[in-house]
Structure formats: C-alpha cells, structure tokens
Chain A
C-alpha cells in the first residue's frame, strides 16, 4: 500500500486551502532505513513528504504546547498519543487535522542489520510486503512481516483512533488473545533474576535521554532527572541512578503509553526499554480495563477515580 501520493495530495490541499498553518510529516532520510520528521508550510514543498515502513518516530512528539493549526500524519499508535495529548490539554482537537495511516507495521532496521551481520545496506526498497536490501556484493528480498518492530508484531490498534482523513483503507486488526507474553516471561522470574534482568538491560545506558525525548508523553518543562533544586537523581552513569531514571520514567508513563516503540527506535545503544513500560501497560489493562488514548472522551485511568476501581492493594 503506497500512502505517499495520498499524503502529498492531502497535504497540498490542506496548505493551499489554508486549513492548516503547516504540515508535520516525514521526508525520506539520507540513510537507507531512516526518515526525518519535517515541517512544511509551502504547498510546493509537499513533494518532500514520504511514507514507508521506516516512519517509526512518533510525530505526536512534536505537538505539545503548539498554538497553530497543524496537519499531522498519524499511524494507529501515533493517533492514540494525540488523543492522550488532547485529554491532557497539551493541544486542542480543533488545532489538529490528522491524516490517518492504517498501518501494517514498521520494519525494525536493527533486525535487518542483524540479518546482514556487519554488512552495510546501501539501498533499501519496498514493494508490496517485500523489502529489497542491496549492498556491496549482495541483494536480498525479505518479507516485511518477518522484520517488524516488536511493538508492531503485538499491535492491537493498527488503525488510527482519531483522524480527519485517511490515507488508505482501514486494515484488519489482529486478534491475538495474549499480546503480553513477553511481559509474562519476565513476570515468571524470581526477584533475584528479575533484578539481574533489568540491571543487565540498562548496563549500556549512556543517559542520553533519547528514549525520553522521543516519547510524546514526556513533555514536562523540566524532567525529574534534570531538577537540581532539589536534586532527585544523580547525573552520572551510576547504575542505581540509571535504574531510577528508567523505572520512574516508566511509572510516569503508566496508563498513558501506547507502545509506539519510538523509545526503542531512538536508543543509540539498542536497549529494549519497552521492557519497563510493557509491564505497566499490562497492569493498567488488567486492573482498570484501560488502554491509553482510545478516546478523547475518557480520562487516563490514573487520574480518575471510579468507585469500582481495583483496590485490593489497600490493606
């Protein structure tokens, strides 16, 4: 499914008719498996817009506190984050003109890199569910569905939940009885094992905060790790401080995370940081029957009280 033409056409129209002040979308990257978020004001520039299976940055990240009218591209997870932004007063629904993308998943460039085992991809082309990877002395055709990002494999909301126009036909949602088997694997470990699992998960963390900054939920003017008066968390790469950062950030995202995977895609050290947030997503779903961002009418589960809320932990 090639959404690029529809996106360009829609964007051009929105700008020409001045329905929006600018468009936020993707343009083709300077590397084979990368794309770059772009802001376009001039209808003539809409030819830069591009859609493919490597558009994995969550564009909702660029919305909070803006005052203009914005046309923005959103896949299922992105649109849920936009719903969360609306509910949390970071942007108004009227400001957004959402170009919805029914999504069949994003390809994980690291899985392709692992397949190439040290060889560089010089050109990557997509067509009809196939990914053609070319390099010096090799050419492979891979099935896109074999190389999806982990969050896309488990995705339960591929279609946008709010949108103003769709760039293609709605796709069928998955019917996986248990998308949380990865969490259950960790839950089954004993306390010592769990501690070791999480400690070794973040041992390469360099506190670059790419995960936090790529996350649409993290829009606090001053993040708790940056506060110095009082200082909550040390700024060195001390393992305890690093663990504190990841755990606390995950808790700040509880009930709000849509599992878009931008954090994992952003991490320069390839750390699977979703291991922290997935557990909280599972708990919120099971305890409060809530998934983030499915509607702009509902408040997030952790900022509302219902009389029948699960409360067995209060002893």
Chain B
C-alpha cells in the first residue's frame, strides 16, 4: 500500500497518539525476558528485543477466560441457566509483533473461524485488533521462518510492517486497516526512494542471515500411516518430560479445556489452555486412554503440526519457525530434527 516514515525520536509521540484511539500493547522488559503488556510508559518500550518469551497469542486467546456464568440459586428464575459473560472488545493495536507471530495467528484462525462454527471471543478480538509488526533485522540462530512460508519481513497477518532503519522506521501499511491506523496516529511523512531501498536491503540481508533451515517439501505427499508407524518416534520421545512448555509457548498451538468452577451458589464456565502433552488430555470417563503412553503424545504433537494440519487445511505446516520450543524445551527436543526425520522418511 504505502510507505511512511516515523523518526525514532517521534516514536513515543506516535504511541501516545495511538493510545487515543486504541488500547495499545507493546513489548516490555520483564526481568530477563520480554512480554507484551498494555502501554504505560511510551519511553519504556522494548523494541530492541529478539522476541517475547510467550507468544502474543494470549491477546486473542488468553490462558484463562470466562466463557459463561450462572447461578445455582434455586430461588432465581435464571437458576442453572448458562449465560454469556459480557465482554468489551475495544479497538486494540499490538505494536512490535514479529512477522512469525502474526502469521501464526492466521494459521490458528482457520481453526477458530470455520464455515460451520465461529469462536465468538477469538473472532471479535481479531476483528478489533490492528497488527503493527516489527521486521527482524537480526534473526536468531534458532529462527527457521524462511523454511515454513514465512520470513523476517513476511507480511501475512500484519496491517503495518515496520522496518528498523537505525534512526527511523519505515512504516509500510499492508491493509486498509493499517493505513487507517497510521492516519489516525498522525503518520503522514512519505518515505522517499532511498529509504525504501534501505528497507528492501534490510529485508534481503535478514533473509540471508537466517542460518537454520528445515526441509518441508515432502510432508504433504508422505502417507499419514507411514509417518505414524515410523520407527523414529521412540528416539524422539525418550527425553520428553510431557510438560506444557512447547505447547504454551508456541504461537500456533490452540488446544484448550473447558471447566466449570463454582463458588457457593455462583459459578463460571471457563476455558484454559490445555496441552496434548498432558496424560489426561485424551482420557475417557471409562478409563480408556488412546494416548496413554508418552511416545503417543509426542508423536501426536508433531504429526498434528507437520502432517494433520497440512492435510486438513491445505495451509502449510502449523509452524512459523519462531524457535521458542527449540530454545525452551527443558530437554532440548528439537522440532527441526523432527522436520528432517518426517520429511526424509
């Protein structure tokens, strides 16, 4: 669409004017890592970060969320009837989201918004959100986004993409929503040809810098039963401790649990992040558990991300190469190794 300039010295002002029309989320340093938090201090924004520890999926899909409420009071005419909890969905802007995380939200969207069913909370929050991405000039050693139809300056899922050119940002509006946001925040200075060239060079250099690659070309053609029965799963799964680290940090993981919690005579129905890594994930009331063994659960996760999702949605793999699971798995189970094993079977 259009390329504009925001001088870095004016960035706090830009954020301040954003705040007048949007609820703004920015990356903020929290101890040794970064997290997206509501903007409080325009001068204290951690945009020189690599990436946040937790993905920003929690802005559309919080870890715990009240779905409904009810009263169990027998006197009430609404007793035992489950009612929607009222929620606000104000216009929100998330500033500094990395292209991998933004694309991830689109990969997840095909799950929450289908032809037959639409998750109202996800969908409303997504509609209300404008995504201002920050391209990665300096990708991490563990990033492999370019192998999975993504990249350090990939535009999918973003409304605006910022290029960090040292003393200024080039702000490229990718959608109408993004152009409107830049307008509303008073960003009017057009980028000149030379600046655009610098931005292109930054992107090309960043894509070159990606040092980690995974093969994905043969995943679609491989037979699902061949992959399922492959001999390498025991080796892959041995070290796994079945915690929820990979699933909770992953921007494309979306599984959740629904629970009723009651306090005296009032209650809520809430949903919480859940993980296919947990042993009880598939436990039937009868006691039967199709995935009672650790290796079955580990296999499920990788099969889902690299095969079932591919077959079901024709949307590529459910992975954007952000590298969080690689960096933070306590036992160094590396999805990049599994990509190789599955693709080369």
Q: Which residues of A contact B (CB under 8 A)?
A: 29-31, 34-39, 57, 61-62, 110, 113-114, 118, 120, 122, 204, 206-210, 212-214, 222, 226, 228, 234-238, 262, 265-270
Q: Name B's interface SS.
A: loop
A111 to chain B, nearest CB (A): 10
Q: Which residues from A are CB-within-8-Å of B48? A: 118
Flag whether B249 is at the interface (Cβ < 8 A).
Answer: yes
Which residue of A38, A57, A62, A236 has the most chain B CB atoms within 10 A of its CB atom?
A236
CB interface residues, B 220-246, toward A, < 8 Å: 235, 238-239, 241-245
Q: Which residues from A are CB-within-8-Å of B245? A: 208, 210, 266, 268
Query: Residue A234 contacts which of B261, B278, B280, B334 (CB distance < 8 angstroms)?
Result: B261
Flag whether B345 is at the interface (Cβ < 8 A).
Answer: no
Flag whether B313 is at the interface (Cβ < 8 A).
Answer: no
Contacting pair A206 B54 (CB below 8 A): yes
Q: With contacts A36-B334, A122-B141 known, what are 7 further pairs, Cβ within 8 A?
A: A36-B332, A37-B239, A214-B330, A222-B280, A236-B272, A266-B245, A268-B328
List 3 A-B pairs, minimum CB-CB distance, nearest first.
A266-B330, A236-B64, A208-B244
Contacting pair B53 A213 (CB below 8 A): no
CA distance A38 to B236 in the complex (A): 9
Which residue of B64, B141, B273, B330 has the most chain A CB atoms within 10 A of its CB atom?
B330
Flag whether B206 is at the interface (Cβ < 8 A).
Answer: no
Contacting pair B272 A208 (CB below 8 A): no
Q: Which residues from B are CB-within-8-Å of A210? A: 241, 243-245, 330
Category for how many chain B residues contact A:
35 or more
Flag whether B120 is at the interface (Cβ < 8 A).
Answer: no
Q: Which residues from A are CB-within-8-Å of B336? A: 30
Q: Given A31-B142, A31-B326, A31-B332, decide whether A236 and B270 contact each other with a Cβ distance below 8 A.
A: yes
Q: Name A's interface SS.
A: loop
Q: Which residues from A are CB-within-8-Å of B279? A: 222, 226
Which residue of A39, A110, A268, A270 has the most chain B CB atoms within 10 A of its CB atom?
A268
CA distance A31 to B243 in the complex (A): 20
Closest to A270 in B: B32
CA distance A57 to B243 in the complex (A): 14
Contacting pair A270 B331 (CB below 8 A): no
Closest to A236 in B: B64
Query: Residue A266 contacts which of B31, B241, B257 (CB distance < 8 angstroms)?
Result: B241
Contacting pair B243 A235 (CB below 8 A): no
CA distance A111 to B70 in the complex (A): 48
Contacting pair B261 A236 (CB below 8 A): yes
Query: Residue A209 contacts which of B53, B243, B328 (CB distance < 8 angstroms)?
Result: B243
Q: Which residues from A are CB-within-8-Å of B64? A: 236-238
A78 to chain B, nearest CB (A): 15
Q: Which residues from B are CB-within-8-Å of A213? A: 241-243
Query: Residue B241 contacts which of A114, A214, A228 (CB distance < 8 angstroms)?
Result: A214
Contacting pair A266 B243 (CB below 8 A): yes
CA distance A103 to B335 in the complex (A): 31
B179 to chain A, nearest CB (A): 33
Contacting pair A237 B243 (CB below 8 A): no
Contacting pair A118 B244 (CB below 8 A): no
Contacting pair A270 B244 (CB below 8 A): no
Contacting pair A270 B33 (CB below 8 A): yes
Contacting pair B331 A57 (CB below 8 A): yes
Query: Residue B63 contacts which of A36, A57, A237, A267 (CB distance < 8 angstroms)?
Result: A237
5 contacts between A and B (CB under 8 A): A39-B235, A120-B140, A209-B278, A222-B279, A269-B53
CA distance A160 to B326 in the complex (A): 31
Q: Which residues from B are CB-within-8-Å of A204? A: 30
Q: Which residues from A are CB-within-8-Å of B326? A: 30-31
Q: Which residues from A are CB-within-8-Å of B331? A: 36-37, 57
Q: Which residues from B are CB-within-8-Å of A209? A: 243-244, 278
Flag whether B123 is at the interface (Cβ < 8 A).
Answer: no
